[in-house]
Chain A
Amino acid sequence: GAGVSQSPSNKVTEKGKDVELRCDPISGHTALYWYRQSLGQGLEFLIYFQGNSAPDKSGLPSDRFSAERTGGSVSTLTIQRTQQEDSAVYLCASSLGPGMQYEQYFGPGTRLTVT
């Protein structure tokens, strides 16, 4: 079956521009996560959506970062006024339900380069 997909796979943008990254989770998965992975680092949690509940935004590094999830399915991560330190791979994951007992399935990521 189809896994988690993300688009674009690569994005190069100029400093100061806004970018939108898209995630299509596995159909039927109610939980969706966004992570950031910088070179030589592990995954940094950004935001978590579960069903129709308010998202947990505790990992967003600044107010330039926002995310939404429409209709409990597709999610968009928006970075406004991009900075060079935003360059990283942005990974999306989905799971059948909330909590650690549900395996997270990851997409291939979007590599963002801010020049």
Chain B
Amino acid sequence: GESVGLHLPTLSVQEGDNSIINCAYSNSASDYFIWYKQESGKGPQFIIDIRSNMDKRQGQRVTVLLNKTVKHLSLQIAATQPGDSAVYFCAENTGGFKTIFGAGTRLFVKA
């Protein structure tokens, strides 16, 4: 498959290190946030979500942190693996069906 974005911010990490991907969201009324992973040639895939009444949520090897004061969201990936190489999007929702997606960050994992 082809790249979905050639001019995205890029994060390069060594295999086994932790990765932190950051996102600034736009709407202070947003109350639900999602991180998606998009591999080359595929559609985005849900990773983890968090509601605005929380500031941290953990999944398997992933943690999402939410700072509503500065409208900042981060995704932490522990012990990054080559299979984690992808474009990562944050998304926000104010309720209802419409989800607003960020531009994405490309993660490269060096073996």
Binding site for B on A (CB under 8 A): 4, 31, 33, 35, 37, 39-45, 48, 50, 56, 89, 91, 93, 98-100, 103-109, 111
Task: Check B5–A104 contact: CB distance below 8 A.
Answer: no
Q: How far is the CB of B75 from chain A (nearest CB, A)?
A: 15
Task: Check B97–A39 contact: CB distance below 8 A.
Answer: no
Task: Check B2–A48 contact: CB distance below 8 A.
Answer: no
Known: A39-B4, A111-B2. A100 touches B96 (CB 8 A): yes
**Chain A interface helix/strand/loop/mixed:** strand
Q: Which of A35, A42, A50, A111 contacts B104 (CB 8 A)?
A: A42
Q: Which residues of A contact B4 (CB under 8 A)?
A: 37, 39, 89
Q: Which of B41, B43, B89, B93 contacts A100 (CB 8 A)?
A: B93
Task: Check A99–B89 contact: CB distance below 8 A.
Answer: no
Closest to A58 in B: B98
Q: Which residues of A contact B43 (CB under 8 A)?
A: 4, 91, 93, 106-109
Task: Check A41–B41 contact: CB distance below 8 A.
Answer: no
Inter-chain CA distance A103–B32, complex, in Å, is 12
Q: Which residues of B contact A103 (CB under 8 A)?
A: 46
Task: Check A40–B97 contact: CB distance below 8 A.
Answer: no
Q: How far is the CB of A69 from chain B (nearest CB, A)?
A: 14
Q: How far is the CB of B96 from chain A (nearest CB, A)?
A: 6
Q: How far is the CB of A5 from chain B (nearest CB, A)?
A: 10
Q: Which residues of B contact A44 (CB under 8 A)?
A: 101
Q: List the 6 closest pairs (A to B, CB-CB), nearest first.
A: A106-B43, A42-B101, A40-B7, A43-B101, A100-B93, A40-B5
